[in-house]
Copies of this chain bind each other. A is one copy, B any other.
Amino acid sequence: MHAPLSALANLRGELGRIPLTRAMGLSVEGVHGDTLVLAAPLAPNVNDKGCAFGGSLASLMTLAGWSLLELALEARALPADIYVQDSSIRYLAPVWHDFRAIAAPAPGESLDAFAATFAERGKARLRVHCRVPLPDGGDAATLDARFVALAGR
Distance between A143 CB and nearest chain B CB, rounded to angstroms: 10
A45 lies within 8 A of B20 (CB): yes
A77: interface (CB < 8 Å): no
A1-38 vs B, CB cutoff 8 Å, 1 = contact: the mask equals 00000000000001101111001100000000000000
Return chain B residues, CB-CB under 8 Å to A96.
Answer: none
A48 lies within 8 A of B89 (CB): no
Taken together, the copies of this chain in the complex come to 2
A91 lies within 8 A of B81 (CB): no
Q: How many residues of A contact B (CB 8 A)?
A: 36
B45 lies within 8 A of A55 (CB): no
Residue from B86, B89, B90 in contact with A91 in the complex, judged by beta carbons closer than 8 Å? B86
**Interface residue ranges of A33-59 to B (CB < 8 Å):** 43-49, 53-56, 58-59
Beyond the given A54-B66, A55-B60, A55-B63, could you list 5 further A-B residue pairs with CB under 8 A, ordered by the A residue number? A18-B47, A19-B44, A20-B24, A85-B90, A87-B88
Interface residues of A (CB under 8 A from B): 14-15, 17-20, 23-24, 43-49, 53-56, 58-60, 62-63, 66, 81, 83-91, 94
